Structure 1
Amino acid sequence: MDVHGTVAEGFEPVREAFAENFTRRGERGAGLAVYRDGHRVAHLWAGSRDIDGTPGTAPWEAGTAQIVRSVTKGVAAAALLLLHQRGELDLDAPVGAYWPEFKAAGKDRTRVWHLLAHRAGVPVLDRPLTLAEAADPDLGAAAVAVQAPVWEPGTDHGYHAHTYSWLIGELVRRITGRPVDRWIAEELAGPVGADLWLGLPEAERGRVGRVGPVEPPETAGGLRMRPKRAVAEAYADADSLTRRAFAAISPPPDENDPAYRAAVLPASTGVATADGLARFYAALIGEVDGGTRLFTPGTMELARAERSAGPDRVLVVTTRFGLGYMLHSAASPLLSPGSFGHPGRGGALAFADPESGIAFGYVTNGFGTSVTADPRAQALVRAVRSALGRTAAALG
């Protein structure tokens, strides 16, 4: 496999791990970017944009973008945090102060921060939405507004896999008067110069690769890695919160369908290049190339301060969340305990680590089975950690 791109001196382990993902972990097409202190130190790409991997057809290029599923949640979270930073939103206020209809069915004491920390108690919809309904911001917001919570808001946490879309999107619209996709384009992606979109523009369709499943990698004994029994049982049980949360849009959308990629769903339909994601996270923790910074130090600390921790009622593993961001844990390992970011079910990962100055973005068209810790992404994170160790040693 020919790996294209460059790495800075000391980051050679990152290139090696990226190549090994193709030879050992079933990778078919992928991109990776890493920034350190606002400057890019790795930008790699390889493989095919077509999931069948036919040699010579639609090669992955430097600007190839990919749908990144729940990585989108970290981008959407920045919208609410920036509104708070600008004094336009109180994170401790009731959601109903901005969105009166949301007070229905016992949700009147739900706080804004509960939405970001997956504590709102509405990870499911009693009546799932079709894709056409889900993509209508009025219908999606109305559905979640009337939904009764499955636990008292604020008292527990569970991953809001799809309903996060309408919770965050509607708050942004109520506060700013702008749809969330436009707000993200104008206030986040545009100022940073990041190639990322919520609601893929028709003009960018040609840059996006097709996606499909990949087999989980083999263990040393030749067996395929599989989910733990409790997790597998939760996904198999049609009545579980797990199945119901992921089935809030039903039937499951075709992620290669242009209509799905154009849908504005802040929980799942973001499309980005690896560099776009890394650049975005670099701007959350510092200036990028000497220019734009999005979060003040205080907002950055708010983003990564733990708000939820323990057994997740939807994911059936122990998770940790700040405000809209997953935090480092055994279920979702990031670079260090101070890292914050978000994985995407199937492989993609983006995060920032303020202590080391690292911002990381990885996208792939081969979707695996993991929700929070894909083996390919984890191999790359370990390689970045190794590279940091080498550079520290070289500096004495």
Structure 2
Amino acid sequence: MSEQEHEVRGHCAPRFGAVREAFEANFRDRGELGAAVCVTVGGETVVDLWGGWADAARTRPWQRDTVVNVWSTTKGPVALCAHLLADRGLLDLDAPVAAYWPEFAAAGKETLPVRYLLSHRAGLAGLREPLPLERLYDWDTTVALLAATEPWWEPGTASGYHAMTYGHLVGEVVRRVSGLRPGAFLAREVTGPLGVDFTVGLPEAAAGRAAELVQSPVGDSSEQAGIFSRLSPVAIAALGNPPLDATAANSAGWRAAELPAANGHGTARAVAELYGVFAGRGELRGRRVLSAAAVERAREGQGACLDLVLGAGLGGETEIGLGVWLSGPRGSFGPNPRAFGHDGFGGSSGLADPEAGLSLGYVMNRMGPHIADDPRKTALVNAVYSVL
């Protein structure tokens, strides 16, 4: 690969030169195609870099305003919506979900509290019946199925990653309380007033600057079948129903739908800004978005365990707060165990560290095989903390 092919552009404060070096190494050594990284410290942007290609054919250079699907990195901004409503006294995180969404009381869920949705402890990690991707695009159909379904485990006793269902579960509560789905609520309350380049789904007007996601190399079909056969039924429901890969996110149907667990689109700058609300203890660009108390509530650990969906794949026990993953002893979001954030399938990430006043956004289009802790993201996080 020539230097021109992965030319890195943008701004990097001299003190953070290690981040630029790590970003360049991602192209040179870790197979990066196109990507961007943004870091803010104390509300100041100290790194804002982008490079590579926005398409598999390498015909469109990645630009300053290139947006890309960030998969589960979307979950942090969706959690922000719920915390905004709770901050205003409109949503009680300890109240039953059914108090806001009466149909949800079916199948023994009448007392299940809102906080279990945010912390992936509701037992609703996936639907039991096969769900074609096209039906997932239908909001009303999906939330009706979730309201009617029975939990896979006793709610509250453990976490099990709600990979796709999280967005509809939390999102329907946001809709019942505010009258808006989370994408529209986030736009009205945060991204619109502050000019943050992030949307749930992708407006047609932005399609021309969207990066093409490229599937990571995978093993042969027998190897994949072997891995899948070892998954528990709940893991199969969470991760394989509906079945999808990176190419699904390039389709018009995916981009037009509202999938708040997985189809947020934005720049690295936008991700850093949204997680920067948490890093700034509720403030962004001098504007109070959340109370400091709400930020602390978001990172209250809900109990460490071996996740019932992701299991040992994360290297041991993990702990989720209210809509975000805690860095904890694994250091997924840096050495501060109270830092937090959310990774997206394939590599993207948003990080918030209120103690350091630090936020980071990393987005890319060549999918890695990891659900969390992609080596490219880890290299960038390590580089940031090496100079703090």
TM, length-normalised to structure 2: 0.91
Partner of 1:95: 97
Deviation at 1:331, TM superposition (A): 5.6
Structure 2 residue matching 1:359: 3-state secondary structure: strand
d(CA) in 1 for partners of 2:200, 2:139: 13
Worse overlay, 362-371 or 171-180? 171-180
d(CA) in 2 for partners of 1:346, 1:236: 22
Q: Deviations over 1:323-363 (max 9, x none)?
A: 00011146661122121110001100001100111110000
CA contact (8 A) 1:33 1:278 kept: yes
Deviation at 1:209, TM superposition (A): 0.6
The alpha-carbon distance between structure 1 residues 71 and 86, as it changes in their structure 2 partners (threshold 3 A), is same
Deviation at 1:308, TM superposition (A): 3.1
CA contact (8 A) 1:283 1:292 kept: no
Instruction: Note the residue ranges of structure 1 that are not aligned, 5 or more in a row.
Output: 217-223, 389-396
CA contact (8 A) 1:70 1:345 kept: yes
CA contact (8 A) 2:329 2:337 kept: no
Deviation at 1:246, TM superposition (A): 1.3
Partner of 1:242: 235
Do structure 1's residue 376 and structure 2's residue 372 form an aligned pair?
no
1:37 to 39, 42, 61: 42
d(CA) in 1 for partners of 2:385, 2:330: 18
d(CA) in 1 for partners of 2:54, 2:264: 17
Q: Name the structure where helix makes up a greater proportion of residues.
A: 2
d(CA) in 2 for partners of 1:32, 1:82: 26
Partner of 1:220: none
Do structure 1's residue 159 and structure 2's residue 158 form an aligned pair?
no
CA contact (8 A) 1:192 1:280 kept: no
d(CA) in 1 for partners of 2:225, 2:114: 32
Structural mapping, 1:193-204, within 5 Å:
193-204=195-206
TM, length-normalised to structure 1: 0.90
Do structure 1's residue 294 and structure 2's residue 289 form an aligned pair?
yes
Q: Deviations over 1:190-221 (max 9, x none)?
A: 133211100211101111110112359xxxxx
Q: Deviations over 1:201-244 (max 9, x none)?
A: 1101111110112359xxxxxxx9xxxx9x99664446532222
Deviation at 1:380, TM superposition (A): 0.2
Structure 2 residue matching 1:87: 3-state secondary structure: coil
Deviation at 1:181, TM superposition (A): 1.5
d(CA) in 1 for partners of 2:37, 2:61: 15
Number of residue pairs aligned between Structure 1 and Structure 2: 372
Q: Deviations over 1:238-274 (max 9, x none)?
A: 6532222112324657111021022101100111100
CA contact (8 A) 1:74 1:342 kept: yes
d(CA) in 2 for partners of 1:234, 1:111: 34
CA contact (8 A) 2:124 2:152 kept: yes
Q: Which amino acid aligns with 2:250?
A: N
Structure 1 residue matching 2:318: 3-state secondary structure: strand
Worse overlay, 251-260 or 133-142? 251-260
d(CA) in 1 for partners of 2:231, 2:42: 46
Deviation at 1:130, TM superposition (A): 2.0
CA contact (8 A) 2:279 2:354 kept: yes
Do structure 1's residue 281 and structure 2's residue 275 form an aligned pair?
yes
Aligned residues with identical type, % of pairs: 42
Partner of 2:257: 263
The alpha-carbon distance between structure 1 residues 112 and 133, as it changes in their structure 2 partners (threshold 3 A), is same
d(CA) in 1 for partners of 2:130, 2:325: 25
1:62 to 49, 61, 64: 64
Deviation at 1:113, TM superposition (A): 0.2
The alpha-carbon distance between structure 1 residues 107 and 64, as it changes in their structure 2 partners (threshold 3 A), is same
Deviation at 1:6, TM superposition (A): 1.1
Do structure 1's residue 15 and structure 2's residue 20 form an aligned pair?
yes
CA contact (8 A) 1:35 1:359 kept: yes
Partner of 1:364: 364
Structure 2 residue matching 1:366: 3-state secondary structure: coil
Structural mapping, 1:158-237, within 5 Å:
158-215=160-217, 235-237=228-230
Partner of 1:123: 125
Q: Deviations over 1:155-209 (max 9, x none)?
A: 2211011111210111111111112221111112113321110021110111111
Structural mapping, 1:140-151, within 5 Å:
140-151=142-153
